[in-house]
Chains A and B, each alone.
Chain A
């Protein structure tokens, strides 16, 4: 079972920042927070991951609270192409364990 809780859906105006929350109150010390997204009819796509520090890459920023029990994925300037289901996943980075997907958040970017 997924160890994360996400809102089922969110809307965001095009050009604005999309802030997607995730609760992971039972996260262990060696577990990372990963974000993937699935655009309609495509395979899931890696976005970003972090352990405890905030992370930023060309796609998004990840803000992790100090107690690590929740995090927020930020898409700074959402476009229509960012409409997708976003999955927050916690897991250890080592080993060959597969990703355990929850229901995710369906983000709709509106023109």
Chain B
């Protein structure tokens, strides 16, 4: 019954490889995000999608390519992985109603590039 799920939870890979992280939300929300939390624990937005369309693309290298096949999924593909890509990646979805806004985060994917 997890609201926002991510796979895999852990990802260890070699520099130069290409990898994907998947995110799914079963909350019926229209907006989804990818955040990155680096080794210093700063959480920063990477991408935002609304109804499968890219809304926000922060200054992220174009090796990172998000894809939203449908409203419930937002995947992140990373080409030519670098050491500096090692971080925890969080997916989130957004609920907005008359009571305000709430973002629901997934459990995170811990990426280690060797």
Interface residues of A (CB under 8 A from B): 32, 34, 36, 38, 41-46, 49, 85, 93-94, 96-101, 103
Interface of B is mostly: strand
The 8 A-B pairs of least Cβ separation, nearest first, read A43-B105, A98-B45, A101-B43, A46-B102, A93-B101, A44-B105, A96-B31, A96-B55
Q: A97 to B31: give the CA distance in the assembly, Å.
A: 10
User: CB distance B100 to A43 under 8 Å?
Assistant: no
Q: Is B108 an interface residue (CB 8 A)?
A: yes
Interface residues of B (CB under 8 A from A): 4, 31, 33, 35, 41-45, 48, 50, 55-56, 90, 92, 94, 96, 100-108
Q: Which residues of B contact A38 (CB under 8 A)?
A: 43
Q: Which residues of A contact B42 (CB under 8 A)?
A: 101, 103
Interface of A is mostly: loop
Given A43-B92, A44-B43; A98-B107 close (CB under 8 Å): no
User: CB distance B44 to A101 under 8 Å?
Assistant: yes
The one of B35, B41, B102 that contacts A98, using a Cβ cutoff of 8 Å: B35
Q: Which residues of B contact A97 (CB under 8 A)?
A: 48, 56
User: CB distance B100 to A32 under 8 Å?
Assistant: yes
User: CB distance A44 to B100 under 8 Å?
Assistant: no
Chain A nearest CB from B98 CB (Å) reads 10
User: CB distance B100 to A98 under 8 Å?
Assistant: no
5 A-B residue pairs with CB within 8 Å: A32-B100, A43-B90, A96-B31, A96-B50, A103-B42
Q: A103 to B42: give the CA distance in the assembly, Å.
A: 7
